Chains A and B, each alone.
Chain A
Amino acid sequence: MMLILFLVMISAYLLGAFAALLSGRGAVGRGLVSAGAAVGSAAGLALGVLVIASGFPLTFTSARLLPLTGVALRLDGLGAFFLVVVGLVGCAAAIYAFGYSAQYAGRYSLRLLGVMFNLLLLALSLQVMADNALTFLVLWEAMSLTAYWLVLTEHDQRGTVRAGVWYLAMTHAGFAALIAMFLLLSGAELTTSFASMRAGAALLSPGSRNVVFLLALFGFGAKSGIIPLHVWLPMAHPVAPSHVSALLSGVVIKMGIYGLVRVLLDLMGGGPAWWGGVVLGVGAVSALLGVLYALMEHDLKRLLAYHSVENIGIILIGIGAGLIFHSYGLMTLAALGFISGLYHTINHASFKGLLFLGAGSVLHATGTRNMEEMGGLIKRMPWTALFFLVGSVAISALPPLNGFVSEWLVFQSLLGGSNIPTPEVAVVMPIAVGILALTSGLAAACFVKAFGITFLAIPRSREAEHAHESPPSMLAGMALLAIACVALGLAPFVVVPALGRVLAGLGGLPDTHAVFSLNLSLVAPNNFASMSPTLVALGLLFLLGLVPLVMLIFRVNRRWRVSDSWGCGRAGQTSRMEYTATAFAEPLRRVFAELYRPTKELSIDFHPDSKYFVQSIEYRSEITPWFEKVLYGPLLWFIRFVASLVRRLQSGSVHIYLFYIFVVLLILLLIARWS
């Protein structure tokens, strides 16, 4: 059964890619591409669920497909969980793509888009199964490159190429770190299979274990966009086609999380407490700064991209807490930490995928990503608005949807910090609690802005006024993820034990799938707390029905009348009187001015005859992107400097190049002789 699903998955993706090659254009072509991706993802989803449910891993090896070590695939619980994530978002994105990519016909290469989309999904699906270092790295590169081509789809738009270059540079810097990491892990015998690494990692010296940790954090962190390695993310994700953005933000960056958990917990079997501390710290900083920068963003898709940084941060807070507990041998709490991180991973995949698809629909309808030109879309695109609202509530961690459940778990794992014997370490936890709470509050503020400015009130531009609802396929894609958001929120008592089973055995974690849940509700370890989103949702629904009923019984006045908005009696309301996104975020910009360091520029043109009459006022205010300035400025300068030195080696003469090769060969042979 599993093998069939596995083969269906692979062949569907390949067929989809093949169909795209043959006929990219036309409804049939698009249909085949989407169908391939959708069937493949659905098969992947089913396969993942099956593996988690049965607990039996799926293995597949072929020595011939890849030189040196051969391809080794093994789908265990952890991989299966990530396969579910891939399948969920991939399926929704594929369905959505059918409608969405229609607009590309004739403008951009649908052929390339279709091929790369299917290949990316294939690479992602296989990535989580890789069972030796070489397979892992090859798939990692395949994933990075296909994603790069997808980012470049709208290559003639401003910023796309630049974003692509940034993405490629960062992801390869990370890739280099990963190669070094695997080299270290493989030890003297250069074994590459994960099983032998698992055995060998314990024998490594603490120093090289620490180096492995730092390399893993850098390599996987660059992929998931942790701060300060995040700069490429808000550039690359928004410029890609929206269904691809959903995939990039929802799934691709999660591969970094997968890698971290796989390497740190599974292969290395945990580490000293400071590893966890560093991961937690990086997570906390990413979460807070991510949401703070998102607040200042008025490009809907860039806003969502910054929220990806934030949510990766939240995931890392959970995982960092798990690592800390793990180092103290508090295994149940450690499991709770990892569970909260992984739960947030799938939650973020579903709601961020949903939000990016929603943003895509808005972009599709209005042709702009600038929130200041939107407004009033809730009347023109009711379904999109509803789905986007679901996503907004979920990402703001409001009950009873899924975001709340996983944040609750993260909170609970941090609260478990009181069990840590050394208070110097434990004191990290309350600070993380504070930061996490601030993050979730700010996220709520940000999504009031995102939803309120985009969908509510009066349209701010002609485009928004003439917006139209998206075609059914796009709505179906969003609906799928919206249902996932609700379901994941209402059924934590299914998900959490499943995650407990997924994690069981990794790095010595016990099987905790019985610990955390009690019929319909969630329980933190040691019976620390319990909560039931299911009952809360039922209660809310019940009250929502009861209140109007009671009002009916008591014969409340039910008359209503539509009138102008009350604006102190002024004559007409235009969209220019509305609050803008900038205005909405202004109080927070002032509060956090020390961080944003906003620049202000005010120029007033006076009437030539009298300076009492103003002809025009221009006000410009920007926040200083000091990561780019302080961190990457010097780095870029250094790279340019080195590059200019290297350029001297280039002469254009074939003889010289052959000479270089000869010298290098000689040196290598000499080194090999004495080592």
Chain B
Amino acid sequence: MNEHDAVFAQLATLGASLVLLFGIALLWRRSLRAYTKAFQWQSLVLSGMFVLVGYFGHDPQLYLMAVFFFVLKVLVIPWYLARLQRQVGGERESQPYVNIATSLITSGVLVLLAYIITRPVVRVSALPTRGGLPLAVGLIFVGLFVTITRRKALTQVVGFLVLENGIAMLAVLGTYGIPLIIELGVFLDVLMGFLVMQVFVYHIHGTFESIDVDQLDQLKH
């Protein structure tokens, strides 16, 4: 491995760790605002990763992707989230299904699992970015975990978005970005999904005066 690739590998792993850290930071926080903030920072670092991979991987398309990504995930979605939050009130994720310390340790174990699962891939891969692959898979797990264990509809939405970030990171690190058109399609999907969820949040809030999804079981009666 030459000097150039070595620096690239180091930076890619560092960036991926940072992205993952913001995902884990999510688990520690309680207020919805902190969730949004953490997501925003994570997306910012991730768009930086796009630029990084674009620069070292000599793929100018990725710069464009980075811009899209930045606009959508650092500006638009957080802004929307903030608006939603104002409308539904500042509820806190005070009682997740799994308490915070346990969530944190579980997430650590999930990342460990991700390392073990991706090990065969990483071992045969020659990419300089391979160090980040387990972290991306770990981030997907953490996102899923957030979605599963948090009670509020909004925090679940953030969990979903984090999961999507994980997929994006996997794509950019694993293949240096899939073709632009597919990527754009995915972005659009995410946006659509997000909007649908937003509508749901409104409705849940309108019906129960709360966005605690625990209340949904009342619909049975």
Q: Do chains A and B touch in the complex (CB under 8 A)?
A: yes
Chain A residues engaging chain B, CB cutoff 8 angstroms = 423-424, 427, 431, 591, 594
Q: Do A427 and B101 touch across chains, with their CB atoms under 8 A apart? A: no
Q: Interface size on B (CB < 8 Å)? A: 7
What residues make up the interface of B, taking CB atoms closer than 8 Å to A?
Answer: 99, 101-102, 112, 115-116, 119
The chain B residue sitting closest to A592, CB to CB, is B101
Q: How far is the CB of B207 from chain A (nearest CB, A)?
A: 32
Chain A residue contacts of B116, Cβ below 8 A: 423-424, 427
Q: Write the chain A residue with the least CB distance to B117.
A: A424
Alpha-carbon distance between A427 and B119 when the two chains are bound, in angstroms: 12
Given contacts A423-B119, A424-B119, contact A591 B112 (CB under 8 A): no
Please report the C-alpha to C-alpha distance between residue A427 and residue B101 in the assembled complex, in whole angstroms. 21
Report the minimum CB–CB distance from A590 to chain B (whole Å).
11
- Cα-based distance from A603 to B102 in the complex (angstroms): 32
Give Cα A423–Cα B117 distance, bound, in whole angstroms.
Answer: 11
Q: Give the distance to chain A from B82, nearest Cβ to Cβ, in Å.
A: 33
How far is it, in angstroms, between the C-alpha of A423 and the C-alpha of B120 when the chains are bound? 11
B217 CB to nearest chain A CB (Å): 23
Q: Which residues of A contact B112 (CB under 8 A)?
A: 427, 431
How distant is the Cα of A594 from the Cα of B101 in the complex, in angstroms? 10
- Which residues of chain A are near B101, meaning CB under 8 Å? 591
A427 engages B102 (CB within 8 Å) = no
**Residue ID in chain A nearest B113 by CB atoms:** A427
| A427-B115 in contact (CB<8A) | yes
Ranked nearest first, the 3 interchain pairs of A and B with the lowest CB-CB distance are A424-B116, A594-B102, A427-B112
Q: Which residues of B contact A431 (CB under 8 A)?
A: 112
Specify the chain A residue showing the minimal Cβ separation from B109.
A431
Interface SS of chain A: helix, strand, loop or mixed? helix
| CB proximity of A597 to chain B, nearest CB, Å | 13
What's the nearest-Cβ distance from chain A to residue B98, in Å? 9
CB-based nearest A residue for B112: A427
Chain B residues with CB below 8 A from A427, complex form = 112, 115-116
Q: Whole-angstrom distance between the alpha carbons of A424 and B134 in the complex? A: 14
A594 touches B119 (CB 8 A): no
Query: What separation, in Å, do the CA atoms of A423 and B112 have in the docked complex?
Result: 11
Further pairs besides A424-B116, A427-B112: 7, Cβ < 8 Å? A423-B116, A423-B119, A424-B119, A427-B116, A431-B112, A591-B101, A594-B99
Closest to B116 in A: A424
A-B contact pairs, 12 of them (CB 8 A): A423-B115, A423-B116, A423-B119, A424-B116, A424-B119, A427-B112, A427-B115, A427-B116, A431-B112, A591-B101, A594-B99, A594-B102
- In angstroms, Cα B119 to Cα A425, docked, is 12
Report chain A residues within 8 Å CB of B102.
Answer: 594
Q: What's the nearest-Cβ distance from chain B to residue A228, in Å?
A: 21
**Separation of A427 and B112 alpha carbons in the complex (Å):** 8
Residues of chain A within 8 A (CB-CB) of B99 are 594
Report the minimal beta-carbon distance from A421 to chain B, rounded to whole angstroms: 12
Q: Report A430 CB to chain B, min CB distance, Å.
A: 9
Chain B min CB distance to A26 (Å): 59
Measured CB to CB, the closest approach of chain A to B2, in angstroms, equals 26
Nearest B residue to A591, CB-CB? B101
A427 to B111, CA, bound (A): 12
Bound CA–CA A594/B97 (angstroms): 12
Question: A591 to B105, alpha carbons, bound, how many Å?
Answer: 13
| CB of A289, distance to nearest CB on chain B (Å) | 16
B97–chain A nearest beta-carbon distance, Å: 12
CA distance A427 to B116 in the complex (A): 9
Residues of B within 8 A of A594 (CB): 99, 102
Determine the distance from Cα of A33 to Cα of B119 in the docked complex, in whole angstroms.
64
- B115 → chain A, closest Cβ, in Å? 7
A377 vs B102: C-alpha distance when bound (angstroms): 40
Complex contacts, A591 vs chain B, CB 8 Å:
101
Residues of B within 8 A of A423 (CB): 115-116, 119
- Which residues of chain A are within 8 angstroms of B119 by Cβ–Cβ distance? 423-424
Chain B: minimal CB distance from A433 (Å): 13
Q: Which residue of B lies closest to A595 (CB)?
A: B102
Inter-chain CA distance A423–B119, complex, in Å, is: 9
- CA–CA, A431 and B112, complex, Å: 10
Cβ-closest chain A residue relative to B102 = A594
Within the complex, the shortest CB–CB distance from A619 to chain B, in Å, comes to 24
Q: What distance in Å separates the Cβ of A417 from its nearest Cβ neighbour in chain B?
A: 14
Nearest B residue to A427 via CB reads B112
Alpha-carbon distance between A591 and B104 when the two chains are bound, in angstroms: 14
Least CB distance, A280 to chain B, in whole angstroms = 16
Instruction: Output the nearest chain A residue to B98 by Cβ-Cβ distance.
Output: A594
Rounded to whole angstroms, the CA-CA distance of A424 and B122 in the bound complex is: 13
Q: Which residue of B lies closest to A431 (CB)?
A: B112
Residue of A nearest to B105 (CB): A434
Chain A nearest Cβ from B133, distance in angstroms: 15
Q: How far is the CB of A382 from chain B (nearest CB, A)?
A: 42
Bound form: Cα–Cα A427–B118 in Å: 14
> How far, in Å, is B134 (CB) from chain A's closest CB?
11
Smallest Cβ distance from B107 to chain A, in angstroms? 14
| Residues of chain B within 8 A of A424, CB atoms compared | 116, 119
In the bound complex, how far is the Cα of B99 from the Cα of A87, in angstroms?
49
CB distance from B116 to the nearest CB of A (A): 5
In the bound complex, CA of A49 to CA of B102 (Å): 48
- Complex Cα distance, B119 from A424, in Å, reads 9
Q: How far is the CB of B27 from chain A (nearest CB, A)?
A: 15
B105 → A minimal CB distance (Å): 9
Please report the C-alpha to C-alpha distance between residue A302 and residue B112 in the assembled complex, in whole angstroms.
37
Give the Cβ gap from B158 to chain A, nearest Cβ, in Å: 24
In angstroms, Cα B116 to Cα A126, docked, is: 47
Contacts of B115 in A (CB 8 A): 423, 427
Least distance between A384 CB and chain B CB atoms (Å): 39
How many angstroms between the C-alpha atoms of A594 and B99 in the bound complex?
9
A82 CB → nearest B CB, Å: 37
- Min Cβ gap A442→B in Å is 15
How many angstroms between the C-alpha atoms of A594 and B112 in the bound complex? Answer: 22
Question: Shortest beta-carbon distance, A423 to chain B, in Å?
Answer: 7
* Min CB–CB distance B179 → chain A (angstroms): 34
Distance, CA A424 to CA B118, complexed state (A): 11
| Cα(A145)–Cα(B202), bound, Å | 71
Shortest C-beta distance, B28 to chain A (Å), equals 16
Taking CB as reference atom, which chain B residue is nearest A593? B99
What is the chain B residue whose CB lies nearest that of A422?
B119
Closest to B101 in A: A591
Q: How far is the CA of A424 from the CA of B120 in the complex (A)?
A: 11
CA distance A348 to B112 in the complex (A): 33
A424–B101 alpha-carbon span in the complex (Å)? 25
Instruction: Please report the C-alpha to C-alpha distance between residue A594 and residue B106 in the assembled complex, in whole angstroms.
Output: 14
CA distance A423 to B101 in the complex (A): 26
Q: How far is the CB of B92 from chain A (nearest CB, A)?
A: 20
> What is the CB-to-nearest-CB distance from B211 to chain A, in angstroms, rounded to a whole number?
26
Q: How far is the CB of B72 from chain A (nearest CB, A)?
A: 36
